[in-house]
Homo-oligomer: A and B are copies of this chain.
């Protein structure tokens, strides 16, 4: 499944044959059908395996209760940033399948996965707005799109490379912190009544 995830991203689902997969994984071609039933099921299995990768565990969320809305939002964003940046390939896979009409069932699953991620962030934003700490005339949906749109860009290999080149001497962790800080500051500027 690890091999498949990688190849599906590199060559696309339809562009990857089970012979490619079996050769790369060092297994027999029949094994994919044997274990997963079909190539398509393999893709679905990959997606579902990490389905809950970004869902905040309830205890983590409860621990945030005494934080300000912005701190909370910032925490959650950091959380998702880490999750996405640690699973860049998987995340790209999700988005590659997202617009594909050929596999509507899988599409539904992916939409469900992504939707979950939205909920927590939306809650935090709306709490801030309700408590008068965030501007009220801001559409949370557009904000969330901004967040995930930005994190999405961070999974692009060429931009990863660009960031690395533009920040010579910085470790991947430092770059990652930069990304998180950017997001945090961006939203502070945008949401809060300074």
- Residues of A participating in the B interface, judged by any CB pair closer than 8 Å: 9-15, 92, 96, 98-102, 111, 139, 141-142, 145-146, 148-154, 156-159, 162-163, 166, 178-179, 182, 185-186, 189-190, 194
Is A186's CB under 8 angstroms from B182's CB? no
Is B102's CB under 8 angstroms from A12's CB? yes
Is B152's CB under 8 angstroms from A153's CB? yes
Inside 8 A of A166's CB, which chain B residues have their CB? 139, 141
In the bound assembly, the distance between CA atoms of A90 and B101 in angstroms comes to 16
Q: From the candidates B13, B101, B190, name the one contacting A10 in the complex (CB within 8 A).
A: B101
Q: How many copies does the complex hold?
A: 4
Q: From the candidates B98, B101, B148, name the one contacting A11 in the complex (CB within 8 A).
A: B101
Is A96's CB under 8 angstroms from B98's CB? no
With A98-B156, A102-B15 known as contacts, the answer to whether A182 contacts B150 (CB < 8 A) is: no
Q: Which residue of chain B lies nearest to A145 when distances are taken between CB atoms in the complex?
A: B153
Among A111, A145, A182, which residue has the most Cβ atoms of chain B within 10 A? A145
- A72 CB, nearest partner CB in chain B, Å: 20
Q: Which residue of chain B lies nearest to A167 when distances are taken between CB atoms in the complex?
A: B139
In the bound assembly, the distance between CA atoms of A101 and B6 in angstroms comes to 11
Please give me the 10 A-B residue pairs with the lowest Cβ-Cβ distance, nearest first: A149-B149, A14-B14, A149-B153, A14-B15, A189-B189, A149-B150, A145-B153, A142-B182, A10-B101, A189-B190
